[in-house]
Amino acid sequence: MKNSFFFGALFFLLTSCQQQERPMVSFYYWKTIFKLSPLEKSTLKDNQVKKLYIRYFDIDWNVKSNRPFPQSPIRFEENPKEYTILPVVYIKNKVLLNQAIDVLDLAQKTSDFIQQINTKNHISCQEIQIDCDWTIASRDNYLKFIDCFKEISKKKLSATIRLHQIKYFKKTKIPNVDTGVLMYYNMGEISADSLNSIYDKDIANRYLASLKKYPLAVNIALPIYSWAIHIRDGKVIGLKNKIDVKAFKKDANFMLINQRGLKVKTSNYKNGTFYKKGDLLKLERITENDLLEMANDLEENSATMPSEIIFYDLDEFNIKNYEKDLFEQIIARF
Residue-range domain boundaries for the chain: 24-225+286-332, 226-284
Given this model, what pLDDT does residue 218 score? 98
DSSP annotation of 230 = E
Given this model, what pLDDT does residue 109 score? 99
Q: How far is CA 287 from CA 2, 44, 230, 240, 319, in A?
A: 49, 20, 21, 18, 12
Contact between residue 256 and residue 318 where contact means Cβ atoms under 8 Å apart? no
Amino acid letter, 117 = I
Return per-residue pLDDT of the chain as tens, 334 residues: 545 555 555 555 555 444 558 999 999 999 999 999 999 999 999 999 999 999 999 999 999 999 999 999 999 999 999 999 999 999 999 999 998 899 999 999 999 999 999 999 999 999 999 999 999 999 999 999 999 999 999 999 999 999 999 999 999 999 999 999 999 999 999 999 989 999 999 999 999 999 999 999 999 999 999 999 999 999 999 999 999 999 999 999 999 998 889 999 999 999 999 999 999 999 999 999 999 999 999 999 999 999 999 999 999 999 999 999 999 999 999 9
Measured CA to CA, the distance from residue 211 to residue 301 in angstroms comes to 6
Given this model, what pLDDT does residue 21 score? 80
Residue partners of 195: CB distance under 8 A and separation at least 6: 188
Measured CA to CA, the distance from residue 20 to residue 259 in angstroms comes to 40
Measured CA to CA, the distance from residue 312 to residue 318 in angstroms comes to 9
Given this model, what pLDDT does residue 8 score? 56
Tell me how many helices (H) and strands (E) the chain has. 12, 18
- Supply the pTM of this predicted model: 0.93
Record: fold of 24-225+286-332: TIM Barrel (3.20.20)
Given this model, what pLDDT does residue 26 score? 99
Residue partners of 177: CB distance under 8 A and separation at least 6: 130, 146, 150, 157, 158, 159, 216
Q: From 164, 162, 86, select the one nearest 118 (Cα to Cα).
A: 86
Three-state SS at 324: coil
Residue by residue, DSSP assigns 169-200 as: HHHH---S-SEEEEE----S---SS-S-SS--
Beta strand 280-284 with 227-232: parallel, antiparallel or unpaired? antiparallel
Q: From 193, 188, 187, 185, select the one nearest 231 (Cα to Cα).
A: 193
Residue by residue, DSSP assigns 88-133 as: EEEEPHHHHH-TT--HHHHHHHHHHHHHHHHHHTT---SEEEEE--
Given this model, what pLDDT does residue 16 score? 47
